Structure 1
Amino acid sequence: MNILSIILQVILGLGFLMFGFMKFGSKQMVEGFKQYGYPGWFRTFTGIVEVISGILVITGIWNGTLAAWGSLIIVITMIGAIFTHLKISDNVKQMMMPIFLLILGLVVLLINSGTLL
């Protein structure tokens, strides 16, 4: 495990823990999901997925397989987030965070992809 991977996993994992927990009650997230046209249960589901993936990526510091699975979930989640922003015709500025997290997730996945086999 190299230091770059550890740093990226900590950033990605903590970010997803933060965003995931925000989905459980943040007024901004509640309004955002209404704007996206998604029901409340989907916001909660997304929060659970983000918290689990954040935990997997952080614990993946000691177990590359967990990092690979967590980052794969993050990549899939961020693809969904980007499609959601496209669906409601958001501009690129509003998509920058999902794009950034998608790229970080892909890097962590590539670094740890050998552990999936």
Structure 2
Amino acid sequence: MSDASTTPAAAVSESPRPSRRAHLTARVLQIVLALFFGIASAAPKLIGHSSAKESFDAIGFGDWFMYLTGALELAGAIALVIPILSGVSALALIGLMIGALIAQLTAFGGQNALTPVVLIVPLAVIARVRRNHTAELSARIRGRG
């Protein structure tokens, strides 16, 4: 029994939309986190600041991994403010923060391990509120949206 209401595109349009408060909260979080990831987090890695170099040397991956992480953070920051990419960007940045948490726990003995955890919480809020965007993106990629 297959009808149009069970297609992914129809599921996107039928899923509940976030409340105005949830939408505004997510939007503010998106902007704040985009600024944080783009300026405070990615920039030092991309310019090769000595503090970033020291951290990545301590992890044991060196400069290439520092630049890659900075590029991923910058891409995530930009995608956070693009409506259709915001939900998937939040999920990707959560993955990056899980990696940062593991690095903090293993290479630095837990020093600053709370930072990635604190960032995961608002990213999870964004991912939840923007789940319709993620579903729409998935439908478009599959050619059904």
Scaled by the length of structure 2, the TM-score of the pair is 0.72
- Give the aligned partner of residue 73 of structure 2: 50
**Alignment counterpart, residue 100 of structure 2, candidates 81, 92, 95:** 81
- Give the aligned partner of residue 125 of structure 2: 107
Which segment is superposed worse, 15-24 or 93-102?
A: 93-102
State the one-letter code of the partner of 2:50. Answer: K
Cα distance in 2 between the residues matched to 1:67 and 1:56:
6
**Alignment counterpart, residue 29 of structure 1, candidates 46, 52, 69:** 52
Secondary structure at 2:81 match in 1:
helix
Secondary structure at 2:61 match in 1:
coil
Q: How many residues align?
A: 112
Scaled by the length of structure 1, the TM-score of the pair is 0.88
Cα distance in 1 between the residues matched to 2:126 and 2:53:
29
**Alignment counterpart, residue 34 of structure 2, candidates 13, 20, 27:** 13
State the one-letter code of the partner of 1:40. Answer: D
Secondary structure at 1:100 match in 2:
helix
- Give 1:7 shift: 0.8
Cα distance in 2 between the residues matched to 1:97 and 1:11:
15
User: Structure 1 unaligned runs (5+)?
Assistant: none
User: Structure 2 unaligned runs (5+)?
Assistant: 1-19, 136-145
Q: Is the 8 A contact 2:73 2:93 kept in 1?
A: yes
Cα distance in 1 between the residues matched to 2:69 and 2:127:
20
Cα distance in 2 between the residues matched to 1:73 and 1:26:
24
Say which one has the larger Rg. Answer: 2
Cα distance in 2 between the residues matched to 1:66 and 1:7:
16
Which segment is superposed worse, 10-19 or 93-102?
A: 93-102
- Give 1:10 shift: 0.7
- Give the aligned partner of residue 72 of structure 1: 91
Aligned-pair RMSD on alpha carbons? 1.4
- Give 1:89 shift: 4.8
Overall identity of the aligned pairs, in %: 23
- Give 1:111 shift: 0.9
